[in-house]
């Protein structure tokens, strides 16, 4: 993985929520993959979309939350994997991947990577 200094400059910048998508079938970044961020709203438990991005050639996109935009709460990253795999001529067992997580400290930077293949996915809390 890149050095923290380089990562901070190129990808995280001043954003508070970032992601990185890697195609583990090829070992290459997943470029052009749609990513949506939503926040769970109370009452009624409705999801409100906050951002929509596409990954670049490095499998990264602009921060999904700007500085000061994060609030404590429950969030969801929705990765549009079916379209990505279709673009490569593959079918995917998972039509999309949703990663739901909780922000407890809005000042803290969060990095939520996703590793994908047509028949599996893995996510973790990165740094």
Query: Is 96 a member of any domain?
Result: yes
Dist. CA 126–CA 113, nearest whole Å: 7
The answer to whether 94 is a known ligand-binding residue is no
Preceding peptide of 43 cis, ω within 30°: yes
Strands (E), the chain: 17-18, 21-23, 28-29, 34-41, 46-54, 73-79, 97-103, 110-111, 114-117, 120-123
Query: Is 4 a member of any domain?
Result: no
Q: Which ranges in the chain belong to alpha helices (H)? A: 4-7, 81-87
Query: Is 113 a member of any domain?
Result: yes
The CATH number of the domain holding residue 60 is 2.60.40.180
pLDDT of residue 74: 95
pLDDT of residue 67: 83
pLDDT of residue 68: 86
pLDDT band at 11 (very low <50, low <70, confident <90, very high): very low
Q: Answer yes or no: is pLDDT of 12 > 60.
A: no
The answer to whether 60 is a known ligand-binding residue is yes
The per-residue pLDDT for range 36-71, each reduced to its tens digit, is 999 999 877 899 999 999 999 999 999 999 888 999
The per-residue pLDDT for range 83-118, each reduced to its tens digit, is 999 999 999 999 999 999 999 998 889 999 999 999
Residue range(s) defining the domain that contains residue 107: 16-123
The mean pLDDT value for 15-37 works out to 95
Domain count, the chain: 1
């Amino acid at each position: 993985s890149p050095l923290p200094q380089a990562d901070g400059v190129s990808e995280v910048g001043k954003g508070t929520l970032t992601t990185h998508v890697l195609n583990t079938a090829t070992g290459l970044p997943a470029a052009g993959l749609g990513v949506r961020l939503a926040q769970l709203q109370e009452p009624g438990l409705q999801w409100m979309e906050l951002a929509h991005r596409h990954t670049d050639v490095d499998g990264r996109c602009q921060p999904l939350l700007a500085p000061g935009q994060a609030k404590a709460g429950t969030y969801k990253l929705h990765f549009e994997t079916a379209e990505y795999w279709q673009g490569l001529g593959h079918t995917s067992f998972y039509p999309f991947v949703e990663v739901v997580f909780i922000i407890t400290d809005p000042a803290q930077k969060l990095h939520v990577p996703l590793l994908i293949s047509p028949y599996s996915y893995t996510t973790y809390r990165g740094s």
